[in-house]
Amino acid sequence: MLTIRPTTVEDIPQIQSIANLIWPQTYAPLMKKAQLDYMMQTIYSYDAIKQQIEKKNHHYLLVYNNDTLVAFTSYELNFRNENKLMMHKLYLHPSAKGKGIGSYIINHLMGIVKEKKQESLRLQVLHCNTKAYEFYKHIGFSKTGEEYNVLEDNMGHFLDYVMELRLHSTNGRN
């Protein structure tokens, strides 16, 4: 049975534990090791996650299959002062892929979109992360733009595709 539970600062070690397992596996083929290490420190250090939760209004959710932590996601309401829920993260343990868990999480987030009166669910996906991009397209997301992100400390740059799933979409999921 799948369950989703909101987190608090006390859950940061669990978030880090699953992120440290999933993130390097996902991005090692897509970026240099120095970039990967930089991103892990920038995004997933204890202090970085705490700041995301306490100062940036990110809401983390942990996803369990029975009692096993299999995924996490984070989102922000009213992203950039627009009436959009921004999904900052969605990562599944490799053993959880292909079992409908990603779609389950997206449906849960769409419930939050509806409850909080947001217009859409927005995300950004690294342009070369074709598996993720194809998954989002398959479940009804549309590419609405591109954002070029420059990392600090001369760590490089990345092109992200911006994708959205609108609440009033006709794909039957809402």
Q: Which two tokens stand for residue 46?
A: 């204890």
Question: Would you state the pLDDT for residue 93?
Answer: 93
Q: What whole-number distance in Å separates Cα of residue 112 and Cα of residue 87?
A: 11
Which secondary structure element, helix H or strand E, spans residue 145, and what is its range?
strand 142-150
| 10-residue mean pLDDT series, the chain (174 residues) | 96 95 88 89 95 97 96 97 97 92 97 97 96 96 95 82 82 46
Q: 72-75 long-range contacts, Cβ below 8 Å, gap at least 24?
A: 72/15, 72/18, 72/19, 73/105, 73/109, 75/109, 75/112
Q: What pLDDT is attached to residue 118?
A: 97
Nearest to 47 by CA among 12, 76, 91: 12
Q: Write the Ramachandran bin of 61: left for phi over 0, alpha for psi from -120 to 50, otherwise beta.
A: beta
Q: What is the DSSP string of 1-67?
A: -EEEEE--GGGHHHHHHHHHHHHHHHHTTTS-HHHHHHHHHHHHSHHHHHHHHHTS--EEEEEEETT
The first and second tokens of residue 38, run together, are 């930089």
Strands 120-126 and 84-92 come out as: parallel
Q: Give pTM, 2 decimals.
A: 0.91
Q: Is the dihedral of CA 32, 99, 75, 11 positive or negative?
A: negative
pLDDT at 70: 96
